[in-house]
Amino acid sequence: MKLVLVGLNWKTATQEVLEKFAIPENGMGMALAGMMEYPSVKECAIISTCNRTEIYTVSDDAYQSFRNTKEYLARYNSSTVDEIDGYLYAYRGFDAVRHLFRVASGIDSLVLGEPQISGQVKDAYEYSLKFDASGPFLNRLFPKAISVVKRVRTDTAVGAGAVSVSSAAVDLVKKIISQLDEKSAMVIGAGEMGGLAARHLVSAGIRDVTVTNRTFDRAMKLADEMQGSAVRFEEFKSRLKLADVVISATGAPGFIITKEDAVRVIKERTNRFWVLIDIAHPSDIDPSCHEVENVFLYNIFDLRSVVEENLDERKKEAEKAEKIIVGEVESFGKWFETYRAAPIIVELRKKFDGLKDKEVEKAISQLKGADEKTVRTIMAMANSLMNKFLHQPISALKQGENLENGVSAGEAIRKIFDLDDGEGVSVSEEKESVES
């Protein structure tokens, strides 16, 4: 069994190209069926997100599987292999295992340490199960990847600290204000930044969110998603006094909140604190607002320094995660060598059992009149000798050792003892041999 991965991601292709290769949820069954039609492919799983599409295959012929996967991706994109080849990367064997563990742990993500990818890896495995594309290898590999994620998250802080301006803004709010569920917020601007800020605010616990935007329909849409309220842009200043926190993220060419606004709002709030966070560029809020007593103003440059510090911390933690992953790949490798050796161990034991039984039978026939105790003694001695003779070769098989000339222990033992290919070995026999 050989694992091959072929894919493309945010490092090798533009967003426009990635979108062409993205496989939607409702197309996953067809994609897996398309891959499984290739005779070389025995098992398959596909990870497809906005930042990557990767196809993992298990086969007896790695090169053919590699070619078939490229052909499939070209066909899916109505292109030729030559046209897409420059976007693709490939890994095989334990390099592919390591890559999957890095992907699942967020180490290979555009946003280092992002947690969503582990759920997407889990989804990929569930699709593989659902559409009968998984088998013994992937059934071990993908659950192992998920367990690696848990260990990385437990033992490192690679996912800690906000690494986007919007999330950093909300982290800042949490540090300044306690009991967020009793506070209200206004988000000015319903674009990507404003939308992210609104979602982070709700996740942080703020229940009362008001959204305003120059296009009122967009404000209403975002407000509905947040179960908040929308206010027309022409009217938002009259509602500022009600918001303990204001996050502004518009594309306005000039200030939309001035120092005069701040003076008025603080008076209307009877000097209660007012937190203003400006994540727009150019700025939405006049910097002189911070001169007003009880106004706390932070701009995008303050937040970027926080984001950069958090990213530096995540990079340090990623180094710890890489060491964990190396150890987990080795652990998976030990399982795989044992799994791969199972059919050979079964055949080897069958061969020696047959020889042993013949010799024991011959010895007992020569001991005419041997009593039961003598027969049991001979049998025990024969079994003991066989186990001792087999101990070293079976250990070599389980450890996946290679000889000096690069020939594997399995290949050597098959040849020396004239074993067949193990196709007739049952699953229960393999399991017994692995556990013995």
- Catalytic positions are 50
Q: What is the CB neighbour count within 10 angstroms for residue 259?
A: 17
Tell me if 199 sits within 8 A of 206, measured CB to CB.
no
CA dihedral 150, 153, 158, 164 (to 10 degrees): 90
- The residues, ordered by sequence, that sit 6+ positions from 376 with a Cβ below 8 Å of its Cβ are none
Cα-atom radius of gyration of the chain, to the nearest Å? 32
State the number of CA atoms in the 13 A half-sphere of 368 facing the CB: 0
Tell me if 313 sits within 8 A of 301, measured CB to CB.
no
Strand-pairing partners, residue 213, are: 232
The identity of residue 242, as a single letter, is L
Q: What is the 8-class DSSP label of residue 237?
A: G
CA–CA gap between residue 105 and residue 109 (Å, rounded): 9
Q: 209-214, long-range: CB within 8 Å, 24+ apart, which pairs? A: 209/184, 209/185, 210/184, 210/185, 210/186, 210/239, 210/242, 210/243, 211/186, 211/187, 212/186, 212/187, 212/188, 212/236, 212/239, 213/188, 213/189, 213/250, 214/250
Structure tokens at 148: 């690696």
Q: What is the 8-class DSSP label of residue 103?
A: H
CA distances from 385 to 88, 169, 311, 365, 390 (A): 54, 72, 61, 20, 9
Segments of 77-191 assigned E as strands = 89-92, 184-188
Greatest pairwise CA separation for the chain in angstroms:
116
Q: What is the CB neighbour count within 10 angstroms for residue 167?
A: 22
Tell me if 108 sits within 8 A of 99, measured CB to CB.
yes
CA angle (350, 402, 428) in 5-degree steps? 30
Tell me if 309 sits within 8 A of 366, measured CB to CB.
no
